[in-house]
Chain A
């Protein structure tokens, strides 16, 4: 999987369940459902469908799951390319 450490991410929620991350993301007006294994910033998203990602200004929020630590909800700024790709999927 791609290196998460190279991203200027902010942890919004840590060690939550996948469902909690999904519920949290529902509050954002601009959100998208992606399939398990969807690649974002070279990271594959792990989860139970529907997997929700959200857009907040020029930032994108997505769940990141680790086997021993559960799910983290990450926010990455200046994500214009990834946001464009998400919007393109919806067309």
Chain B
């Protein structure tokens, strides 16, 4: 599906779905971006994508979903171009994915850091990256408020 009103294409990258806030925040961010005319691509593991698909069966909030590994390959081979990326991070692997996507795209990456280890995980982010962080696990509201303050859909 081509980008809509503007040329922005946002990649939303999900990490391991074991922390509950991730799925609702991905849906929230995807919805805000869709309303702003930004084309969104959600990338994740099969389980993470199924959580999204079950939560939004009619595609009210989501636009396009891709396998995480296939997305990395497409970025590396230049087959996928995005204008910005939002990586959901709650562990060391999430930091590695954020660094990889920053390196492959060269565009702005925002790490949305959550989970009980958010502070120590945030300290591992040593590459160019915007960070929005709150140590939340079940209640998404504190991190949602921070996302609203940044309002990346308006940028």
Instruction: State the A residues within 8 Å of B (CB).
Output: 1, 17-19, 35-37, 39, 44, 46-49, 65-71
Q: A37-B104, A67-B45, A68-B45 are in contact. Are A17 and B92 (CB under 8 A)?
A: yes
Size of interface on B: residues with Cβ below 8 Å to A: 28
Instruction: State the B residues within 8 Å of A (CB).
Output: 14-16, 18, 44-45, 48, 68-70, 72-73, 75-76, 91-97, 99-100, 103-104, 124, 126-127
Apart from A44-B76, A46-B93: 14 A-B pairs, beta carbons within 8 A: A1-B70, A17-B92, A17-B124, A36-B104, A37-B76, A37-B104, A44-B69, A65-B96, A67-B16, A67-B94, A67-B97, A68-B15, A71-B93, A71-B96
A-B contact count (CB 8 A): 72
- A67–B97 Cα distance when bound, in Å, is 8
B70 neighbours in A (Cβ, 8 Å) = 1
- A35–B105 Cα distance when bound, in Å, is 12
- Chain A residue, CB-CB nearest to B14: A67
B14 neighbours in A (Cβ, 8 Å) = 67
Contact of A1 among B69, B92, B94, B97 (CB under 8 A): B69
Closest Cβ of chain B to A46, distance in Å, is 5
